[in-house]
Chain A
Amino acid sequence: MGFSLEGVGLTHANGFRALRGIDLRIAPGERVALIGASGAGKTTLLRVLAASLRPGEGRVTLLDGEPWACAPAALRRLRARIGLVHQSPPIPPRQRVVTAVLAGRLGQWPLWKCLASLVLPVDPDGARAALARLDLAERLYERCDRLSGGQLQRVALARVLYQQPDLLLADEPVSAMDPALSELTISLLNEEATRRGVTLVASLHAVDLALRHFPRVVGVKEGAILFDLPAAQVSDALLRELYAAEGGLPLTGGLRAPEPAETAGELPPLRCA
C-alpha cells in the first residue's frame, strides 16, 4: 500500500514548472516528512500523490494501481482510499462540525446514505470519537464558522481520521496551531499511521517537528528532490542548502525557526500541461 513516482514532472497551466524528475518510492507503512521552502513544490507533490493532479511526465503508482490508467470508477475507488489534509481546510463555513467530519466517508457510502446523513447524521458516535482524539468532542454540533483557524484544522484532521484511508497525506496540517498543539497533532498522525499500518506523508514548515517525529525526511527544492535520508542523517549543512534562497543569499535567523506560512487558500490551477 505504498507508492512510487518515476521521473515525474509537472508544469502548471500558467507555465510554472512545479516538479521535475521526481523519483520517490515509499514502502507500505512508511512515515515520511516533506520539507522545503515556500513554493518548492511540496503541495504539488502531495496533490500528485492524492491522484488529484496528473503529471505531464513520468509514472505514478499509488496503492499498487496506476491512477491515470484506471477506468473512472476504479479511479474513484482508489481516491476513496487516499486521505489528504489540506493546508487551508476546505470546509464550508455554514456546515456543522459533525457533517464536516462524516463527509470523510462520502467516497465509501452509497448515495442514499450520504443524503440521509444530511437529514440526520448517520454516525454521530464515529464523528465524536474522531473529534475526541483531537480534543474537540464537545464541538460536535457547532457550526464551523464558530471555530478558530486551529480548531478548523483539527476538524479537517478528524475528517481524515474518520475516513480511515490507506494512504494518509497531510499538507501543512499544523500551520494554524500553537507549538504545543502542533507537537500533539503530529504525534497523533504518526500514532494513527503506525497503529493502522498505513503510509503517512506530511509536509511541514517546522523542521524540528519533521526531524523528531518522522523516520524519513525528504527535502524538496525548486521542484526536485534535494535529499531523501533517515532523519538522523539530515545535517545542518543540508538544511542550509535546502532553505538557501536563489542567488545564494545567506539565510537570516535560526535554521530551525518556523518558516512563514504560504499564502492560505492558494491552489494550483486545475489543469496541468
Chain B
Amino acid sequence: MSTAVRDPAALPRLGWTLAALVLLWPLLRLTDFHPVALFEAGNLTAMGNFLAGFLPPETSPDFLSLLGKATVETLAMATAGIALSILLAVPLGLVLTRSLSIARLGPGRRGWIGQSLRAVARALLAVLRGVPELVWALLFVRVFGLGAAAGVLALGITYGGMLGKVYGEILESTDARPARALLEAGSGRLAALCYGLLPNAASELVSYTVYRWECAVRASVVMGFVGAGGLGQLMDQSMKMLNGGEAASILVTFLVLVVAADGLSELLRRRLA
C-alpha cells in the first residue's frame, strides 16, 4: 500500500540535491573559502581600519564638479554601449527564436536553412560575449587610442552577445501560440513578432535591457582603468592616491545610479503591464 502513495519524484530529488552538495564541497575547498576568517578579531579591525579610511566622503565643490562631469561621461558611455548592443542583439535574438520560424510550420521544406542560420547566430553570440569586455577594450584602444570610443565599442559587443542570447530565450519562453496562429494565417515573421510575441514579452525584455544598462554603468569602471574616462578613471586616480573619501563619494554615486535604474525599470514595467 505504501508504495502506491509514495511520490515517484521524491527519491530522484533527494539524489540530485545530494549530488549538488557533493559537487559543491570540493569547489569550496578549491577556492580556500573559510568564512570563519571574517570574524576573527585581527581581521575585523583590519577591515574596520580600511573602511574608516573611506569616511567622511569627499564633498568639496571642486571634487563634486569633477564627479558630476565623470558621472555624465559614464552615463553617456553606458547608454551608447547599450544602444550599440541592442542594434547587434535584436537581429541575432530574432534569428534564434524558433517560434518565429515559418519552415517549422508543417514542417515545410528548407528547414535546414533556418537551423543552420540559428546555429551560426548562436555561435556568433557566444564569441561576442565569451570574450570579456576588458579584452575587447584593450583591442580597440589600439585602434581608437585612449578614450571612450574603445569603451563604447567593447561594451556594445560584449553586451550585444548577452542581450541577443537572453532576448532569444525570453521570446522562446513566451507563449508561442499567438505568433504561430498568425504565421499560419500567412503573416510575416516581423508582424508575427509584433502582434503575437511582443505583447507578452515586452515587459520582460525592457526590464532585462534596463538591468543590462545598470551593469554597463558598473562595467564602465573597468573601462576607466584602460583610460576610457568617466567614473572609472576617477576611481582609478582616487585609489592610486589612497584617497578613501573620494572613493566613497564615487561609490555613493554608483549606488544612486543603481537605485535610479531600478526605479526606471519598475516604472517601465508598470507602464507595460
Question: How many whole Å from A202's CB to the nearest CB in chain B?
Answer: 17
Contact indicator B186/A76 (Cβ below 8 Å): yes
Q: Collect the chain B residues with CB atoms within 8 Å of residue A115's CB.
A: 190-191, 194
Given the complex of chains A and B, what is the CA–CA distance between A3 and B125 in angstroms?
Answer: 45
Given the complex of chains A and B, what is the CA–CA distance between A189 and B188 in angstroms?
Answer: 27
Q: Collect the chain A residues with CB atoms within 8 Å of residue B104's CB.
A: 270-271
- CB-contact partner of A107 in B107, B186, B200, under 8 A: B186
Interface string of A56-82 (1 = CB under 8 A from B): 000000000000100010011111111
**B195 at interface by CB-CB < 8 Å:** yes
Interface string of B233-249 (1 = CB under 8 A from A): 00000000000000000
Given the complex of chains A and B, what is the CA–CA distance between A81 and B181 in angstroms?
Answer: 14
Give B196-231 interface residues, CB cut-off 8 Å to A. Answer: 196, 199-200
Given the complex of chains A and B, what is the CA–CA distance between A8 and B108 in angstroms?
Answer: 16
**A52 at interface by CB-CB < 8 Å:** yes
**A94 at interface by CB-CB < 8 Å:** yes
Contact indicator A106/B191 (Cβ below 8 Å): yes
Interface string of B147-180 (1 = CB under 8 A from A): 0000000000000000000000000000101101
Q: Collect the chain A residues with CB atoms within 8 Å of residue B178's CB.
A: 90-92
Question: How many whole Å from A157's CB to the nearest CB in chain B?
Answer: 13
**Chain B residue, CB-CB nearest to A79:** B186
**B8 at interface by CB-CB < 8 Å:** no
Question: How many whole Å from A56's CB to the nearest CB in chain B?
Answer: 11
Give chain A's interface residue range (CB within 8 Å of chain B).
Answer: 35 or more
**B182 at interface by CB-CB < 8 Å:** yes
**B26 at interface by CB-CB < 8 Å:** no
Q: Collect the chain A residues with CB atoms within 8 Å of residue B195's CB.
A: 95, 99, 103, 106, 114, 118
Given the complex of chains A and B, what is the CA–CA distance between A78 and B194 in angstroms?
Answer: 22
Contact indicator A54/B190 (Cβ below 8 Å): no
Question: How many whole Å from A177's CB to the nearest CB in chain B?
Answer: 20
**B29 at interface by CB-CB < 8 Å:** no
Q: Collect the chain A residues with CB atoms within 8 Å of residue B180's CB.
A: 52, 90
- CB-contact partner of A80 in B102, B185, B190, B196, under 8 A: B185
Q: Collect the chain A residues with CB atoms within 8 Å of residue B260's CB.
A: none
**Chain B residue, CB-CB nearest to A86:** B181
**A84 at interface by CB-CB < 8 Å:** yes
- CB-contact partner of A54 in B107, B177, B183, under 8 A: B107
Contact indicator A77/B186 (Cβ below 8 Å): yes
What are 27 A-B pairs at a CB distance below 8 A?
A: A51-B106, A51-B184, A52-B105, A75-B108, A76-B186, A79-B186, A80-B185, A84-B181, A88-B177, A91-B178, A92-B178, A92-B196, A93-B199, A93-B200, A95-B199, A103-B182, A103-B195, A106-B186, A114-B188, A114-B190, A114-B191, A118-B194, A267-B177, A270-B107, A271-B104, A271-B107, A272-B106
**Partner-B contacts on A (CB < 8 A):** 50-54, 68, 72, 75-84, 86, 88, 90-95, 99, 103-104, 106-109, 111, 114-115, 118, 163, 265, 267, 270-272
**Partner-A contacts on B (CB < 8 A):** 102-110, 175, 177-178, 180-188, 190-192, 194-196, 199-200, 273
